[in-house]
Amino acid sequence: MSVADDTPHRPRGARTSSWRVGLTAMAIVSGWLIPGLGHIVLGRVRRGIFFATLVLGSFALGMAHDGRLALRDDRQAPILSALQVVANAGVGVADLLARARVYGVATYSLPRDPAEREYGTRLTILRDRTKSIASIYGTAYLWAAGLMNLLLLFDLWDIGRGRND
């Protein structure tokens, strides 16, 4: 305890004030929605711009190479297809907008009933995108962008906790 203020002494990285927790939570949410924004919120502007360029550039390359925007399919390895969707969704709003552009609606799964019209439409679009010779590279760029951004959320957590200055 400190003699001057009667508060217990905390180690350097142990900042637990409620505004710091709120700022960290806001940075994590904003960093997921728009890559790099979370670092900017926490005052790491150059780092945020660099990460935004890296993640969104990778995402743009993936879209330019007809990368596969994965759809969850309950009939074919649902866990693996769900993990692919998580990798895509890691980019936040950019993925949502790309899905709306590619599929005509922001969708993350195939309908359960193959007889539905949307099932055939989405499956045809997905198959057409994978016919491109560069599609496998585009898919790798898309997944790398999403997974990079998800890892950057852990960096935001560390910065917010005072562990990564």
Whether 83 is in a domain gets the answer yes
Whether 7 is in a domain gets the answer no
pLDDT per position as a tens digit, 85-128: 999 999 999 999 999 999 888 888 887 777 788 888 888 888 88
Residue 131 CB neighbour total at 10 angstroms: 8
2 has pLDDT over 50: no
pLDDT per position as a tens digit, 129-150: 888 889 999 999 999 999 999 9
Torsion of CA 53, 58, 60, 63, to 10 degrees: -170
Whether 69 is in a domain gets the answer yes
How much is the CA Rg of the chain, to the nearest whole Å? 20
Structural domain for 60, as ranges: 18-161
pLDDT per position as a tens digit, 21-63: 889 999 999 999 999 999 999 999 999 999 999 999 999 999 9
- The 3-state DSSP class for residue 109 equals strand
Whether 96 is in a domain gets the answer yes
Whether 13 is in a domain gets the answer no
Q: What is the mean pLDDT of the chain?
A: 85
Whether 39 is in a domain gets the answer yes
Whether 38 is in a domain gets the answer yes
Specify the number of domains making up the chain. Answer: 1
